[in-house]
Amino acid sequence: MNLPAPRPSPTLAPDLQLGEPMTDAMHAEFVALLDALACASDETWIGAFDAWTAHTKQHFAQEEAWMEEMNFGPRHCHGSQHRHVLNVAGEVRRQVADEGRFDTGRQLVSELREWFAWHVKSMDALMVEALRERGIAQIDHVDQIV
């Protein structure tokens, strides 16, 4: 019996790694699903988009739960970024599904890459630092994982 090869773990570019394992894993999955979406054919695009959206909703909800738990000052600004991305994504999905606007969908994927890099390096970096200060982060540095 031939078993499928194990799926490699998504990797995250070094400049997007924040050194908190759960956050970095969520970010790696976000990027991997965005990559899959970028490569999806018109026939598979909606399915790939829905997989990215499902992950992203859970990812954002986890971050927002952490920020609430620690009463993180900029949590409302950070959360509004999440809501905006999900609202835009929902509208783009509607345009692709109802109007066949794959050009709009593919443009969103391209723009999400730039937004995500900025978001991780600014908003998420502040959040992870606050998690560390409050002892909520799993570990301080990736190189401590054994």
**Is 60 exceeded by the pLDDT of residue 145?**
no
* Mean pLDDT (whole number) for 43-67: 96
**Is 80 exceeded by the pLDDT of residue 99?**
yes
**Is 70 exceeded by the pLDDT of residue 4?**
no
DSSP 124: I
pLDDT (0 to 100) of residue 138: 60
pLDDT (0 to 100) of residue 5: 35
CA distance linking residue 37 with residue 49, whole number of Å: 6
pLDDT (0 to 100) of residue 44: 97
CA distance linking residue 7 with residue 107, whole number of Å: 28
* Mean pLDDT (whole number) for 40-62: 97
* Mean pLDDT (whole number) for 81-92: 98
DSSP 142: G
Alpha helix (H) ranges present in the chain?
21-39, 45-69, 75-99, 102-119, 125-133
CA distance linking residue 79 with residue 96, whole number of Å: 26
Report which residue type is found at 138.
Q
**Is 80 exceeded by the pLDDT of residue 9?**
no
**Is 70 exceeded by the pLDDT of residue 94?**
yes
* Mean pLDDT (whole number) for 67-82: 94
pLDDT (0 to 100) of residue 10: 60
The rounded percent of the chain whose pLDDT value lies above 90 is: 77
